[in-house]
Structure 1
Amino acid sequence: MSSTVAGRTILASTIAKCYNQEIEEKVKEIIQRRENHAAPLLVGFLANDDPAAESYAKWTEKTCKSMGFNYELRRIANKDFLEESIIEANRDDAVDGIMVYFPVFGNAQDQYLQQVVSMEKDVEGLNHVYYQNMYHNIRYLDENKTLKSILPCTPLALVKILEFLKVYNVLLPEGNRLYGKKVAVINRSEIVGRPLAALLANDGATVYSVDIDNIQKFTRGEGLKFSKHQVQDLGDNEPVLLEKVCKDADVIITGVPSPNYKFPTEYIKEGAVVINFSFHKNLNDDVKEKASLYVPSTGKVTICMLLRNMLRLVENREKLKQQIL
């Protein structure tokens, strides 16, 4: 495309609307099925002063209430008591879903806290069982394939955004709809960047996963012996290598949690799709001179996926209860 023609900006709110009706209808069905007719309750734990977490919590509450859910934000003044508070919510039958606004400690202790949340109430999909299933392309929790596994909500939101933007080729078989596509993900966190790279590679894409130290290539691999994606180290994150892989990419996805980071616009291929999932704006204003489609934020789609995960967990618990009876 010509550099004088601005690309289209697609708002997360536009994409989220595609899921609103489905979510609202399922909430009503659950309320009708329950003896006490109570709406599903999501509890969020906030134990930090991060403005991104505060913003996320407000949007979660607003979205929950607009779709018929109950939402309760529990602020934890002393983060050392967070684990005890999560365990209490795990045991409370009135609580249907639990989420924690990370980072809390900003280290391995956060990974431990992710596992403290009950698997049956983990709406963010951070439990190690869900992660293992995702990395190995396993979609169910049981052999009878009645209980669906869930995916981490932010990586799932990015997949849904790519589907909305028609980056996925629906003419190809499911599981191969990103065949021939190259994606650069500027983030390799365990919560978003790495699982996203794995999801996209499992769908057939070549993914360049970039973190502060190095660049890796995720591919699905070939042949029957590969049941999941393969990872290859390409080298240190130097400007020459970064520019090479990014200019080769059909899609650029940024998620650097810093107000000072800006992805170099000159590294974007003409006509590429560009998506930013960081709370901070990782792109300069001239991004639309290169990108054909630009999604500046993803939060509203992430919340929709989180609520869809919660509905799936509620349905899984209902099925388990029926099996016991």
Structure 2
Amino acid sequence: MDFKNKLFDIAYLIRTFDEPIFKKNIELYKKNNIIPQLTCILTSDDAGSISYAKGIKNICKKYNINFVLDNVSSKLELEKKIMYYNNDNNTHGIIVMYPTPFNIKDTYFMNLVSIEKDVEGLNHEYMGYLVQHEFYSDNENLRKLVIPPTAKGILYVLKRNYLVYENYFKINGIYPDNLFENPFKLEGKKIVVINDSLAVGRSLALMMLNENASVRVCQKYTDYEDIMKFVSISDIIISAVPSEKFIIPTKYIPENSIVFDIAFEGNFEYPDVFDKVFKISPKWNLVKKGNRINDMTLHRLISNLFYLVNRKLPENDLRELKNFEKNIQKAGI
């Protein structure tokens, strides 16, 4: 079965939008003698955390970012490491691998990470800004606020595809695939998010609400039949249930819907689901490396790091960067 036309072209979005903007950031850092550094703190031997740390290391190498990997084995040690890197002038961003195994809520550690170093945007101050629909920390809209990278990655795939389709329409007078409207317009769309974690489901729901979408959030206490009802009436379906037992039957997937399968185990029926969707980011092992949703997540993590580094740049450089980003968005087709 040929389902390539159903896949999001994430590699294209990264190449068109991220790479030129990241290159511009790095040029400004060299001009100001800044070497970005990201510190990753492993809290367990969890295979997923180790794999994610490896991915972060590789993308840091790609963009000439110093990467520091540290390990802890206790609550006290993690507290000390966070405080150390909070005060380390060479460190621009800190990412802690959650969940931690230390019998205390992870939000305790999330709030220990300084907002000046919080590359994941999980500190309660950033969460508050997200609730209030704030994008910038200054009146000139030059210094961007940080939001969780996994949720941000999904939103960016949708919003950048929206830009691509709008730019295509301006040139050709029609949308791609002879569509009468932009399928990636979020306003008024019905969206179901099956996950309520702070880093994914809750953050993503807030982001979608901020885009004027109609959002339903499901979690482990939501009745399975109710979840399927929500799925069956949704334009966009996002599932991140970390269990191979949770599967959404294809019969509930609306025709021409948009699907994101974030779970490592996969939450949909393959290959049947491809017949129903308009676009999909499927289970990771069904897509080539470089075109997975995780690749977009990693690039959003780096963009968050750059937001933090940019707070040290002169305002003239930030204005130059802002104008550059606007031109890239206008040119993206």
How does the TM-score come out when normalised to structure 2? Answer: 0.79
When residues 44 and 29 of structure 1 are mapped into structure 2, their CA distance, relative to the original with a 3 A threshold, is same
SS for the counterpart of 1:204 is: coil
- Given the alignment, which residue of 288, 296, 304 partners 1:309? 304
Q: Which residue of 2 aligns with 1:281?
A: 266
Q: CA RMSD in A?
A: 2.6
Are residues 1:98 and 2:94 paired? Answer: yes
Q: Which residue of 2 aligns with 1:233?
A: none
**Distance across 1 between alignment mates of 2:116 and 2:264:** 28
SS for the counterpart of 2:202 is: helix
* 1:229-308 alignment, distance < 5 Å: 237-239=223-225, 241-285=226-270, 286-296=272-282, 297=284, 298-308=293-303
SS for the counterpart of 2:277 is: coil
Report if the CA contact (8 A) 2:228-2:248 is conserved: no
Q: How far apart are residue 270 of structure 1 and its match? A: 1.2
Aligned length: 288
Are residues 1:130 and 2:138 paired? Answer: no
When residues 12 and 46 of structure 1 are mapped into structure 2, their CA distance, relative to the original with a 3 A threshold, is farther
**Equivalent residue letter for 1:278:** A
**Equivalent residue letter for 1:99:** I
**Distance across 2 between alignment mates of 1:149 and 1:213:** 32
Q: Which residue of 1 aligns with 2:147?
A: 151
Report if the CA contact (8 A) 2:194-2:238 is conserved: yes
Q: Which residue of 2 aligns with 1:193?
A: 201
More helix by share: 2
Stretch moving more, 285-294 or 14-23: 14-23
Q: Which runs of 5+ in 1 are unaligned?
A: 215-236
Report if the CA contact (8 A) 2:150-2:200 is conserved: yes
When residues 308 and 194 of structure 1 are mapped into structure 2, their CA distance, relative to the original with a 3 A threshold, is same
Report if the CA contact (8 A) 2:162-2:185 is conserved: no
Q: Describe the superposition over 1:183-224 as per-residue Cα deviations: whole angstroms up to 9, x where unpaired.
A: 11111112210111111112111111111113xxxxxxxxxx
When residues 160 and 106 of structure 1 are mapped into structure 2, their CA distance, relative to the original with a 3 A threshold, is farther
Q: How far apart are residue 58 of structure 1 and its match? A: 0.8
When residues 132 and 319 of structure 1 are mapped into structure 2, their CA distance, relative to the original with a 3 A threshold, is farther
SS for the counterpart of 2:110 is: helix
Q: Which residue of 2 aligns with 1:207?
A: 215
Q: Which residue of 2 aligns with 1:73?
A: 69
Q: Describe the superposition over 1:103-148 as per-residue Cα deviations: whole angstroms up to 9, x where unpaired.
A: 1138652111011111101111111111111111122224565533
SS for the counterpart of 1:104 is: coil
Q: Which residue of 1 aligns with 2:14?
A: 16
Q: How far apart are residue 169 of structure 1 and its match? A: 8.4
Are residues 1:111 and 2:107 paired? Answer: yes
Report if the CA contact (8 A) 1:114-1:127 is conserved: yes
Q: Describe the superposition over 1:261-315 as per-residue Cα deviations: whole angstroms up to 9, x where unpaired.
A: 3222222111111112233322221221221211024211111111111111111
Q: Describe the superposition over 1:66-102 as per-residue Cα deviations: whole angstroms up to 9, x where unpaired.
A: 1111111112244541111111111110111110111
**Distance across 1 between alignment mates of 2:275 and 2:102:** 36
Stretch moving more, 41-50 or 139-148: 139-148
Q: How far apart are residue 12 of structure 1 and its match? A: 4.0
Report if the CA contact (8 A) 1:254-1:282 is conserved: yes
Stretch moving more, 306-315 or 101-110: 101-110
Q: Describe the superposition over 1:3-55 as per-residue Cα deviations: whole angstroms up to 9, x where unpaired.
A: x9856123544433331221133123212211xxx520100011112221111
How does the TM-score come out when normalised to structure 1? Answer: 0.81
Q: Which runs of 5+ in 2 are unaligned?
A: 170-183, 285-292, 318-333
**Distance across 1 between alignment mates of 2:199 and 2:103:** 13
